[in-house]
């Protein structure tokens, strides 16, 4: 039960051997998933080639939407991080909210997401 973050998909598309191997291993044992926020981040890319590669990758995986349950989780995270003085970027909060609402492990290369302090967020 793993959801992959934008940073992981970017490195996969770029051909990072470690990430390509990791995604292949995951695909052998489970369904690959991401979020509609990650979809947005990938599809707004300036490079037509990278945008097309992202579209192709996204067409093969499940994309969870940002819904009411995710909004509640993201809002709780916002409050926790704000109170702790550890705020992260808004899109990362939304992605984490979706992962928590879906009860998925979030796999990321973004060290800032580690600030959330949840054991369901794994950096690679």
Q: Where in the sequence is the domain holding 46, given as residue range(s)?
A: 2-117
Residue 124 within any structural domain of the chain: no
Using an 8 Å Cβ cutoff, are 94 and 66 in contact?
A: yes
Per-residue pLDDT tens for 68-113? Answer: 999 999 999 999 999 999 899 999 999 999 999 999 999 999 888 8
pTM of the model: 0.92
For the chain, what percent of residues have pLDDT higher than 90?
81
According to DSSP, residue 109 is labeled S
Residue 16 within any structural domain of the chain: yes
The number of folded domains in the chain is 1
């Amino acid at each position: 039960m793993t959801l992959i973050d934008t940073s992981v998909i970017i490195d996969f598309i770029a051909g990072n051997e470690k990430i390509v191997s990791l995604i292949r291993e995951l695909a052998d044992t489970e369904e690959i998933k991401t979020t509609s926020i990650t979809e947005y981040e990938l599809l707004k890319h300036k490079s037509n080639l990278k945008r097309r590669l992202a579209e192709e990758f996204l067409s093969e995986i499940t994309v969870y939407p940002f819904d009411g349950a995710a909004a509640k989780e993201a809002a709780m995270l916002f409050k926790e991080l704000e109170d702790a003085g550890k705020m992260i970027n808004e899109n990362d909060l939304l992605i984490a909210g979706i992962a928590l609402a879906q009860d998925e492990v979030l796999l990321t290369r973004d060290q800032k997401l580690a600030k959330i302090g949840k054991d369901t967020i794994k950096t690679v």
